[in-house]
Amino acid sequence: MFRFILFFGWGLLLPGLFSCSRNVQPPAPVYPVPSPRQLAWQHLEFYAFTHFSINTFTNKEWGYGDESPGLFDPTNLDCNQWAQVIKEAGMKGIIVTAKHHDGFCLWPSKYTEHSVKNSPWKDGKGDVVGELSDACKVAGLKFGIYLSPWDRNSALYGTPEYITYYRNQLKELLTNYGPVFEVWFDGANGGTGYYGGAREKRTIDRKTYYDWPGTRKIVRELQPDACIFSDAGPDVRWVGNERGVAGETNWSMINKDEFAPGLADREVLNHGLENGKDWVPAECDVSIRPGWFYHKSQDNKVKTVNQLVDIYMKSVGRNGNLLLNVPPDRTGRINEHDVQRLKEFRKALDEIFARNLAAGKRVHADIWRGRNKQFAPGNVTDGKEETYWCTDDSVKTGKLTIDLGKREKINLVLLGEYIPLGQRVKSFKIEVLLNRVWKQVAGGTTIGYKRILHFAPVTTDKIRITILDAKACPVLNRVEIYNAPEKYFQAD
Ligand code: FUL
């Protein structure tokens, strides 16, 4: 009998003792999840827009389409300077306005006379798109294309023939200039224009006119790795405003088929949908100046460092990517005012994220998946993107306590979900231990790829992150903690 108990007793005990080495499966994805191209895009985080065209020379924001190409004459165009300035600011790529609403093409398109080929610049032999794509390659930056669907110059606009014209231009851009990481389809569509001399109003059906599925197919065929941006995605969505601000709640999901470029619910774009069926993360576009194009009168209106930091916290810090417009001036270079400001902004970001106080620090959790090392709490401070802490399938809450080892002044926490398994967290709070009492310093709803929270400085040695609710078991891959210079968070 004793033998019997001993045998079965051990049998019961053993799995408990060796549970750490048990093979525990990772959690199943919560669909939808990002495609590889969307994942690569998300990692870029911060990149530039360069609005540059005939408007730069007419001092307008929207050209009517009747501007003479003869006006385009940058005195010292230098795309290597754009690339250098943008790279030094820490941005990962450039999207150029190859054609804005006025229809003027920055490359010598063979389908129109309204382009650089009829400008005095380089005797009509120049190609801004070509120079910029080369400069991006040299600098190691990604290269993207904005091709306005609305064309106020083309006589064809509004007819079916225009779609062929538009697609021919798209093919030129996607064939002749190397890899493209993003194709930007603007939502401003239709209205008054020159239209080859007709000078009238042309309205189109935003949902059907462009046959967007057909156009997207061309992008997929010619540049399979490129993300397609528009109000309706399909890869990346507009954030719903031009201030660069994502909603505090920001899901990377929407129902994309309900929208078309220029036809979307801005609230949904800003916040996403918890139960949206398509993964379409938000891109936050904003200009460093009041206008998208360069205007000398705005030289003293370049956004301040603190305004830019605020935008960064509300875009990258809210599960979005930041697309910051830096418009080259009439010389064809990024203006000194903007160069200076970008340097200061970079310095601020470097100082804010100078020292991650949580790096490599011990983390305690009340629970982790199967008590298996693979999913241990320490994964959130190991600096690795691919390792994560997660709970058992039935558990949608959890507490992570980071032990800094000594008391430190802190005011910023950065959290991240491992998004290849989907976006899950619905609610969380952040507490610090003060005089043996946990005090809440911040909290929120969604996390997503990155969530950054700034709060009034406190001195503590323990920080507790509590996941209060999630769509399924939470999967976190990063917790970073900083003591950022407070001066960057003060309103100007
Ligand atoms: C808008 C356009 O109308 C603006 O001119 C600018 O290009 C901005 C990024 O998108 O829809």
- What are the structural domains, with CATH classification, of the chain? 36-352 (3.20.20.80), 356-489 (2.60.120.260)
Interacting residues of 388 by C-beta distance below 8 A, sequence separation 6+: 375, 379, 380, 418, 475, 476, 477
Residue 87 phi, psi (nearest 5): -65, -45
Q: Are 226 and 219 in contact (CB under 8 A)?
A: yes
**407-to-324, 455, 460 alpha-carbon distances in Å:** 37, 17, 5
Collect all residues with Cβ–Cβ distance below 8 Å to 424 and sequence separation of at least 6.
Answer: 30, 417, 470, 471, 472, 473, 474, 475
Query: What is the residue with the minimal CA distance to atom 2 of ligand 1?
Result: 188
pLDDT at 17: 39
* Distance from Cα 327 to the centre of ligand 1, integer Å: 13
Could you identify the atom of ligand 1 that is nearest to the CA of residue 49? 9
β-pairing, 425-434 vs 451-470, is antiparallel
Q: What is the pLDDT of residue 1?
A: 38
φ, ψ dihedrals at 56, nearest 5°: -60, -30
The pLDDT of residue 188 is 84
Residue 22: its pLDDT value, please? Answer: 64
Q: Which pLDDT belongs to residue 492?
A: 84
Residue 444 Cβ inside 6 Å of ligand 1? The answer reads no
Q: What is the pLDDT of residues 426-459, one digit of tens each?
A: 999 999 999 999 999 999 999 999 999 999 999 9
360 three-class SS: coil
Ligand 1 neighbourhood includes 102 CB (under 6 angstroms): no
**Burial 186-212, CB ≥16 within 10 A → b, else e:** bbebbeebbbeeeeeebebebeebbeb
Give the pLDDT of residue 18: 39
Distance CA 257, CA 280 (A): 11
Helix (H, G, I), strand (E, B) or coil at 394: coil
Residue 411's pLDDT is what?
Answer: 98
Residue from 255, 252, 262 nearest 284 by CA: 252
First-to-last C-alpha distance (Å) of the chain? 81
> How far is the C-alpha of 294 from the C-alpha of 50, rounded, in Å?
10
Give 50 Cα–ligand 1 centroid separation in angstroms: 11
Query: Three-class SS of residue 359?
Result: coil
Atom of ligand 1 nearest to the CA of 293: 5
* Ligand 1 atom index nearest CA of 146: 7
CB 329 near ligand 1, within 6 Å: no
Note the pLDDT of residue 292.
98
Angle at 119 between CA 117 and CA 125, to 5 degrees: 45
Pocket test for ligand 1, best of 95, 184, 192, 242 (most atoms within 8 A of CB): 242
Separation of alpha carbons 175 and 145, rounded Å? 12
What pLDDT is recorded for position 23? 80
Q: What separation in angstroms does the CA of 101 have from each of 60, 74, 148, 193, 233?
A: 12, 20, 6, 9, 20
Pair 383, 359: CB distance under 8 Å: yes
Q: In sequence order, which ranges of 227-365 are alpha helices (DSSP H)?
A: 266-271, 305-315, 336-352
pLDDT at 463: 98
User: H/E element holding 390?
Assistant: strand 389-390
Cα-based distances in Å from 56 to 74, 108, 173, 181, 294:
9, 18, 22, 25, 6
CA R_g for the chain: 26
pLDDT at 482 (0 to 100): 98
CA of 146 to the centre of ligand 1 (A): 10
Query: Which pLDDT belongs to residue 454?
Result: 98
Residue 328 CA to residue 335 CA, distance in Å, equals 6
Listed in sequence order, the residues at least 6 apart from 403 whose beta carbon sits closer than 8 Å to its beta carbon are 361, 362, 363, 364, 461, 462
Name residue, tokens 């890899």: 179
Which of 58, 186, 239 gets mutated to test ligand 1 (max ligand atoms within 8 A of its CB)? 186
Q: What counts of helices (H) and strands (E) characterise the chain?
A: 10, 19
Using CA atoms, how far residue 385 sits from 123, 382, 420, 486, in Å, is 50, 9, 11, 28
Query: Rounded CA gap, 481 and 413, in Å?
Result: 5
pLDDT < 50 regions, the chain: 1-21
Question: Can you tell me which residue has the tokens 């309103």?
Answer: 491
Residues 6+ apart with CB under 8 A from 36: none
